């Protein structure tokens, strides 16, 4: 990487004890929000003392307190302007008022614009549906409080006002809401209920992947087997933290890879020991069989209890019916 694509920051005595994101923003021309984004995506590394430019770790939190003598490397990914024109894309709205909107996001839709996804995102659709969103949480992620992976379907809440965005962000930070997912997995665990409490960090070799790592961030998932289907399981997952790819990483670590997961499950081609129609439906999956079904919380502005269920999309309905037909 050339000098134009990276920045080095050394911490002096006056900066010691301050937050990493604040120090890096003050030491560069980058905004604090941009620094936080680069931290989340693994583009900021701490360099080993006295070792030139060898990286010590890239799993850094924005709230880390720096100390004098620390050195950090900021790698700047290639940037291109993002098109944020509103697009008339149909939305499956589960709930809406003047404060927030809850969408049943389809698989295949990216939540917010990024390089390679400059159009057709949920944000583009929301800008058409809610013209007042610009200015909330920045131009790239207006109103976005949390996210779902591109190929995970289900419920996602978006703030329509600044006050709602602040309140919802606090609720997600304190885990003061219920998020439940349904996954169809390969394997049948011996347990019926299990708390999976394993820290997650960015994969040391593959930056686009996450992995269970002892130095990672706390990650807690409650898993409950709803149905056993021979060599497969239908599992309900309740999130207590919101790490990137948390459910997919935790289930893969438990040797329960989600069917259709192209990243955390080894390539699987059901053989003739799997009866029809299950064999054809599983072989035809185009994405991980994971759905954010339930989102429940107290409305931060009205005080109303919301209990929002996102209906299963057609591909997962077909999977559920096939497994029930063969194994129930």
Distance CA 54, CA 44 (A): 13
Q: Is the pLDDT of residue 78 over 70?
A: no
pLDDT at 2: 39
* Strands in 107-219 per DSSP E: 153-159, 178-186, 193-197, 200-202, 210-212
Q: Which of 70, 149, 151, 315 is catalytic?
A: 149
Structural domains of the chain sorted by starting position, each given as residue range(s) with its CATH number in brackets: 3-75 (3.10.290.10), 93-173 (3.30.2350.10), 178-327 (3.30.2350.10)
Q: The tokens of 94 are what?
A: 């589960």
Q: What is the mean pLDDT of the chain?
A: 90
pLDDT at 83: 55
pLDDT at 16: 93
Phi/psi of residue 156, nearest 5 degrees: -140, 135
| Residue 255 DSSP class | T
| pLDDT classification of 1: cutoffs 50, 70, 90 | very low
Q: What angle do CA 288, 116, 133 make, to 5 degrees?
A: 90
pLDDT at 160: 92
| pLDDT classification of 29: cutoffs 50, 70, 90 | low
Q: The tokens of 311 are what?
A: 């209906």
Chain segment 159-218, per-residue pLDDT in tens: 998 889 889 988 998 899 999 999 999 999 999 999 999 999 988 777 678 999 998 999
| pLDDT classification of 92: cutoffs 50, 70, 90 | very high
Chain segment 107-122, per-residue pLDDT in tens: 999 998 876 777 889 9
pLDDT at 4: 41
| Residue 66 DSSP class | P
Q: Helix count (H) and strand count (E) of the chain?
A: 7, 15
Mean pLDDT of 23-40: 84
| pLDDT classification of 50: cutoffs 50, 70, 90 | confident
Distance CA 74, CA 15 (A): 17
pLDDT at 128: 92
The residue with greater pLDDT, 235 or 269, is 235
pLDDT at 131: 84
Q: What angle do CA 120, 126, 129 make, to 5 degrees?
A: 120
This prediction's pTM: 0.76
Distance CA 268, CA 282 (A): 9
pLDDT at 3: 41
Mean pLDDT of 50-70: 85
- Residue 169's closest CA among 261, 67, 100? 100
- Residue 6's closest CA among 45, 32, 64, 36? 45
Residue 305 designated active-site: no
pLDDT at 246: 97
pLDDT at 248: 97
Distance CA 213, CA 5 (A): 29
pLDDT at 42: 87
Chain segment 260-292, per-residue pLDDT in tens: 999 999 888 999 999 999 999 999 999 999 999
């Amino acid at each position: 990487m050339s000098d134009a694509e990276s920045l080095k920051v050394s911490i002096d005595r006056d900066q010691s004890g301050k937050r990493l994101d604040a120090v890096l923003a003050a030491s560069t021309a980058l905004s604090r929000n941009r620094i936080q984004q680069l931290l989340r995506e693994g583009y900021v590394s701490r360099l080993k003392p006295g070792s030139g430019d060898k990286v010590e770790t890239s799993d850094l939190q924005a709230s880390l307190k720096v100390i004098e003598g620390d050195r950090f490397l900021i790698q700047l990914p290639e940037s291109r302007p993002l098109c944020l024109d509103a697009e008339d894309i149909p939305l499956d709205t589960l709930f809406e008022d003047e404060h927030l909107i809850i969408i049943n996001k389809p698989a295949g839709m990216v939540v917010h614009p990024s390089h390679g996804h400059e159009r057709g995102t949920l944000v583009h659709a929301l800008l058409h549906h809610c013209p007042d969103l610009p200015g909330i949480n920045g131009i790239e992620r207006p109103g976005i409080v949390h996210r779902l992976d591109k190929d995970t379907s289900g419920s996602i809440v978006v703030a329509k006002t600044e006050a709602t965005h602040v309140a919802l962000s606090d609720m997600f930070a304190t885990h003061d809401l219920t998020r439940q997912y349904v996954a169809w997995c390969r394997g049948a665990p011996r347990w019926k209920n299990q708390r999976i409490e394993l820290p997650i960090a960015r994969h040391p070799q593959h930056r686009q992947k996450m992995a269970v790592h002892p130095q990672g961030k706390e990650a807690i998932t409650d898993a409950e087997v709803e149905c056993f289907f021979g060599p497969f399981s239908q599992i309900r997952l309740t999130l207590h933290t919101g790490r990137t790819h948390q459910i997919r990483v935790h289930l893969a670590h438990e040797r329960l890879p989600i069917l259709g997961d192209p990243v955390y499950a080894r390539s699987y081609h059901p053989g003739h020991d799997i009866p029809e129609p299950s064999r054809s439906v599983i072989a035809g999956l185009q994405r991980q069989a994971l759905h954010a079904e339930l989102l429940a919380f107290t409305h931060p502005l009205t005080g109303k209890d919301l209990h929002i269920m996102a209906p299963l999309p057609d591909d997962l309905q077909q999977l559920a019916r096939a497994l029930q037909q063969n194994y129930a």
